[in-house]
Structure 1
Amino acid sequence: MNFKLEQINGCQVLSILDERIDAHNSADLKAELLQLIEQHGGAIVVQLEQVRFIDSSGLGALLSGHKQAVAKSGKLVLVKIQQPVLAMFEITRLNRVFEIYADLDEASAAQT
């Protein structure tokens, strides 16, 4: 799985550069999130702008990261979700679990 990690306004921003998060690469995402949480804690922003498809294993990887972040007194939030992916969050009601923002500015402002 391809990632880009940046620090923006004090937040670790993990951009997922693949178009799919599924059973083939969700373990990579989970491992990356857990490593980030262990190293940085605090606020982790996952940017999903490139992602066009997510399945249950991808949702599970994000949920696992969310739970670990909360356990470490941090947060994992999502930004720039495309409509087909957002629909999966709505169908599974995970949009009630995650904080979802339209862009990085909005997400960064909410973290401070």
Structure 2
Amino acid sequence: MNVAIEEHDHIVTLTLNEERLDAHNSSELKTQLLSLFEDGKVNIIIDLSPVRFIDSSGLGALVSGFKNASSREGGLKLCGLQSQVKSMFELTRLHRVFEIFPGTEEALASF
């Protein structure tokens, strides 16, 4: 999985440079998130702007990350959702679970 990682003080931004977040790569995202949590990095922003398609495995990886961040008194926030991805969040009502922002600057300011 092609992921760009940036650190801003106590916040880590992951940009998923993939067009799809699905069964083929969602386990890699889960592993990467767990590694960050184990390193004590619990405030995470995931930039999904390059992602054009997400399936239940991709959503599951994000929910897993959200639960792990919350259990460590941190937060996992999303930004840059394209219309098809946003529709999946609305269809599954996950837009009520996650804080979703237009871009990384807004997400960074929310921590």
TM-score by length of 1: 0.94
Distance 1:56 1:107 in 2: 24
Distance 1:87 1:33 in 2: 24
Distance 1:105 1:40 in 2: 22
Distance 1:10 1:108 in 2: 10
| Residue of structure 2 equivalent to 1:4 | 4
User: Runs of at least 4 residues of structure 1 off by over 2 A?
Assistant: none
Unaligned segments of structure 1, at least 5 residues? none
Distance 2:80 2:17 in 1: 12
| Residue of structure 2 equivalent to 1:69 | 69
- Residue by residue over 1:26-84, the C-alpha shift from the partner in whole angstroms, topping out at 9 and shown as x without a partner, is 10011111111221333100000100000000000000000000000000000111110
How many residue pairs get aligned? The number is: 111
Unaligned segments of structure 2, at least 5 residues? none
| Residue of structure 2 equivalent to 1:58 | 58
Specify the code of the residue in structure 1 equivalent to 2:3. Answer: F
Distance 2:75 2:88 in 1: 21
Specify the code of the residue in structure 1 equivalent to 2:20. Answer: R
Query: Which range moves more in the overlay, 9-18 or 25-34?
Result: 9-18
Q: CA RMSD in A?
A: 1.0
What fraction of aligned residue pairs are identical, expressed as a percent?
49
| Residue of structure 1 equivalent to 2:91 | 91
TM-score by length of 2: 0.95
Distance 2:12 2:40 in 1: 8
Offset, 1:86:
0.6
